[in-house]
Amino acid sequence: MSKFTLAARILLGLAFVVFGLNGFVHFFAPPAPAGEMATVFAGLMAARYLFPLMFAVMTLSGVLFLAGRFVPLALTCMAPILVNILGFHLAVDLGGIGPGAFLTALELFLAWRYREAFAGVLAARHTPAST
């Protein structure tokens, strides 16, 4: 495994463990949303399950990245969260897109490095296993 792959995996793991746990423990307070961002966050907070679920998935995926175990599963779990982070910043807060874009670039790099694990999922036609 290349050193860059290891570094990308550890960076993603650390980021997701820290930000995932911060959703529960509150190490640091994120800046208060204002304007359109506040409206979006209020809507997301109304769905009371969404943020706890997202923070739990982030924490668990971060631990898997750090442990080097089930990395393709962690990549799969984090993909929709990263797509939503990018979508939010593209639509509402373009100035804050940097960290999300960086983590997405690491995610895409790791997905490419682990591409063999996704071969079956990306097959155009696949026959189910016989019983």
Residue range 78-128, pLDDT digits in tens: 999 999 999 999 998 898 899 999 999 999 999 999 999 998 888 888 888
Q: What pLDDT sits at residue 120?
A: 87
The string over 70-97, giving b where at least 16 C-beta atoms fall within 10 Å of a residue's C-beta and e elsewhere, is bbbebbebbeebbeebeebbeebbeeee
Report the interhelical angle of 3-25 vs 97-113 (nearest 10°). 130
pLDDT band for position 52 (50/70/90)?
Answer: very high
Region 1-23: mean pLDDT is 95
Domain that holds residue 86: 3-114
Cα angle 49, 54, 57 (rounded to 5 degrees) comes to 125
**pTM score over 0.85:** yes
Whether 81 contacts 107, CB under 8 Å: no
Q: Kindly state whether residue 123 falls inside one of the protein's structural domains.
A: no
Q: Kindly state whether residue 119 falls inside one of the protein's structural domains.
A: no
Q: What pLDDT sits at residue 79?
A: 97
Please tell me the total count of domains within the chain: 1
Q: Kindly state whether residue 129 falls inside one of the protein's structural domains.
A: no
Q: Kindly state whether residue 121 falls inside one of the protein's structural domains.
A: no
